[in-house]
Amino acid sequence: MNRPEKNEYAEFYAGYVALVEETDIIAALQNQPTDLQNLLAGITAEKENYAYAEGKWSVRELLGHIIDGERVFSYRALRISRGDQIPLAGFEENFYVANSNFSEIELADLLAEFTLLRGSNVLLFKNLTEAAWRRTGTASEATVSVRALAFIMVGHIRHHANILRTRYLA
């Protein structure tokens, strides 16, 4: 799979796409649940609700945000891959987390949920036609392609994994 061109996603997502060096985006998507499980394996139950600063998400909330993002990005990919041209709204991640109960869900359950969700999304992407991968639509008032969404999904996880390493696990 070729990397998406810069005109296939909003500038906001450039940092996420830049974190993806692979060209085999399916393999990158498949590997992330295990990578995330390995990263979080050392978190004690007491640290699951730890936030590195006032007003920042806890580890559980951060993982919940990852799950929310996965759902939103994959929904966009599904709709756009099917040729749907109705503009898709953005989502306010802080509002979503504030209206969740992620802090009450055990980290192991959140990881299991992400793993199942990502597995389903891998199957979606694996079964797309070449034409579907190239389709574009509008999300958050910007053009985005299906292939860009796959790269954004991988980059989104890597972005938050880096934050976990530097601000939560350091």
Domain residue spans in the chain? 6-168
In terms of Cα–Cα distance, which of 143, 145, 141 is closest to 128?
A: 145
Beta bridge partners of 137: 144
What does the pLDDT average to over 152-168? 97
Average pLDDT, the chain: 97
Cβ burial of 61 (10 Å; 0-12, 13-18, 19+) is buried
- For the residues 150-165, what does the mean pLDDT come to? 98
CATH class of 6-168: mainly alpha
Using the predicted structure, report yes or no on whether residue 1 has a pLDDT greater than 80.
no
Among 15, 101, 13, CA closest to 63: 101
Q: What is the mean pLDDT of residues 88-98?
A: 97
